[in-house]
Structure 1
């Protein structure tokens, strides 16, 4: 049985979920994304030869900023006071890609899954933007939630 969508009322109209009666708990979410590129592009980035500077540092900052802006980007997301946002990028030369992993944390009445997913997505988009002049064929893929903790539904981890 599929549970009812929480952002739709009985008539099908979208609304922001009322979380005022929920308990404040520590909430943590982790997400990932990949960006596949030419081997030469990845080598250029990892060797620090990109004319635009440190691509990973810029993508990391973009991911943090995106998590903080999530309610401005995605309708019906609550404004959250994030206590931690981490964005890590790692080159995977064997697969000619970069793996992006994000973690968002806070004590609140609602979760941070969308913030973690937004951070991963925007970090990948930033990598694409910075490298598109040399590799327009890059592919962003595998954006997904890895894990969430806290709240009524407890702990969930991707298989």
Structure 2
């Protein structure tokens, strides 16, 4: 197991120095789900939620969250993203699946940006629908895949 890199010689938190790393194309895909009553999902799909178009607002929230991840997660580097794409699909009954693909060309990966994007999108769905249903559940949230960087590619067995 490699040593943890987010600690300095004194054992205190630090932002990892990436100045010597190569610039490579990097892509990460993450997913989350929101489980809800069938009626709640039906209203989201029909566009009949009182607060507006749930999926459109959640899409924008996910993109904004990816772009601002370094403001949420203390040790994340601010990144110039080259693309963020959020997808929604449902099981036709009670679960909305959210997937985010985030891309950059840089010295560090975009896994946290993809995870933050799906988390913010899921929280937005909850926020917009909580008046109808407070017992929705979010998750699991997980990394599906990543490409690029010195550690190579990764693909989840859950993908």
Bucket of the pairwise TM-score, normalised by the shorter protein: over 0.9
State the partner residue of 2:23: 24
State the partner residue of 2:75: 76
State the partner residue of 1:57: 56
Aligned residues: 157
Q: Of 140, 143, 147, which residue of structure 1 is paired with 2:138?
A: 140
CA distance in structure 2 between the partners assigned to 1:38 and 1:12 by the alignment: 47
State the partner residue of 2:99: 101
Deviation at 1:5?
Answer: 1.5
CA distance in structure 1 between the partners assigned to 2:7 and 2:35 by the alignment: 36
Displaced runs of 4 or more, over 4 A: none
CA distance in structure 1 between the partners assigned to 2:110 and 2:75 by the alignment: 13
Deviation at 1:93?
Answer: 2.1
- Checking the alignment, whether the CA contact within 8 Å between 1:23 and 1:109 is kept in structure 2 is yes
SS state of the match for residue 139, structure 2?
A: strand
CA distance in structure 1 between the partners assigned to 2:75 and 2:139 by the alignment: 25
SS state of the match for residue 142, structure 1?
A: coil
1:5-28, Cα deviation, whole Å (9 max, x unpaired): 221123321000000000000000
TM-score relative to the length of structure 2: 0.96
TM-score relative to the length of structure 1: 0.96
State the partner residue of 1:90: 89
- Cα RMSD (Å): 0.8
